[in-house]
Structure 1
Amino acid sequence: MLEIIGVGVALIIAVFLVLAARQPDVCHIARSIFVAAPPERVFPLVDDLRAMNEWNPFAKQPSVRNVYSGPERGVGAADDFSGDAGSGSGRIEIVESIEPAKVALALRMDRPMKCSNRVEFTIAPQNGGSLVTWDMKGRQPFIGKLFSLVMKPEKMVGGAFERGLADLKTLVETAREEAAQ
Structure 2
Amino acid sequence: MLKTIALAIVAAIAALLIFAATRPDNFRVERTARINAPAEKIFPLIDDFHRWGTWSPYEKLDPDMQRSFGGSASGKGATYAWESKGKAGAGRMEITESTPASKVAIKLDFTQPMEGHNVAEFTLQPQEGATQVTWSMHGPSPYIAKLMGIFFNMDQMIGKDFEAGLANLKTATEK
Question: Which of the five TM-score ranges fits, normalised by the shorter chain?
Answer: over 0.9
- 2:40 aligned with 1:36, yes or no? no
8 Å CA contact retained: 1:85, 1:111 = no
Query: Which has the larger displacement, 6-15 or 153-162?
Result: 6-15
Q: How much has 1:24 moved relative to structure 2? A: 1.0
8 Å CA contact retained: 1:54, 1:60 = no
Task: Give the alignment of 1:147-158 within 5 angstroms.
Answer: 147-158=148-159
- 2:54 aligned with 1:54, yes or no? yes
8 Å CA contact retained: 1:108, 1:117 = yes
- 2:27 aligned with 1:27, yes or no? yes
CA distance in structure 1 between the partners assigned to 2:164 and 2:155 by the alignment: 14
Helix, strand or coil for the counterpart of 2:23?
Answer: coil
CA distance in structure 1 between the partners assigned to 2:88 and 2:27 by the alignment: 19
Q: How much has 1:86 moved relative to structure 2? A: 2.2
- Which residue of the partner structure matches residue 45 of structure 1? 45
Gaps of 5+ in 1: 175-181
Q: TM-score, normalised by structure 2?
A: 0.95
Task: Give the alignment of 1:2-21 within 5 angstroms.
Answer: 2-21=2-21
Amino acid at match of 1:65: Q
CA distance in structure 1 between the partners assigned to 2:88 and 2:102 by the alignment: 28
Amino acid at match of 2:119: R
Task: Give the alignment of 1:103-118 within 5 angstroms.
Answer: 103-118=104-119
Amino acid at match of 1:7: L
Q: How much has 1:82 moved relative to structure 2? A: 1.2
- Which residue of the partner structure matches residue 103 of structure 2? 102
8 Å CA contact retained: 2:118, 2:137 = yes
- Same amino acid, percent of matched pairs: 38
Query: Which has the larger displacement, 32-41 or 79-88?
Result: 79-88
Q: How much has 1:85 moved relative to structure 2? A: 5.1
Query: Which has the larger displacement, 54-63 or 70-79?
Result: 54-63
Q: TM-score, normalised by structure 1?
A: 0.92
Query: Which has the larger displacement, 55-64 or 43-52?
Result: 55-64
C-alpha RMSD of matched pairs (Å): 1.1
8 Å CA contact retained: 2:61, 2:86 = no
CA offset digits 1:102-127 (Å, max 9, x no partner): 00000001111111001100000011
Q: How much has 1:70 moved relative to structure 2? A: 1.3
- Which residue of the partner structure matches residue 179 of structure 1? none
Query: Which has the larger displacement, 162-171 or 19-28?
Result: 19-28
Task: Give the alignment of 1:50-89 within 5 angstroms.
Answer: 50-62=50-62, 63-84=64-85, 86-89=87-90
- 2:174 aligned with 1:173, yes or no? yes
Q: Which runs of 4+ in 1 moved over 4 A?
A: none
Amino acid at match of 2:146: K
CA distance in structure 2 between the partners assigned to 1:60 and 1:126 by the alignment: 30
- Which residue of the partner structure matches residue 138 of structure 2? 137
Q: How much has 1:43 moved relative to structure 2? A: 0.5
Amino acid at match of 2:164: R
Amino acid at match of 1:139: P
Q: How many residues align?
A: 174
CA distance in structure 1 between the partners assigned to 2:100 and 2:80 by the alignment: 20
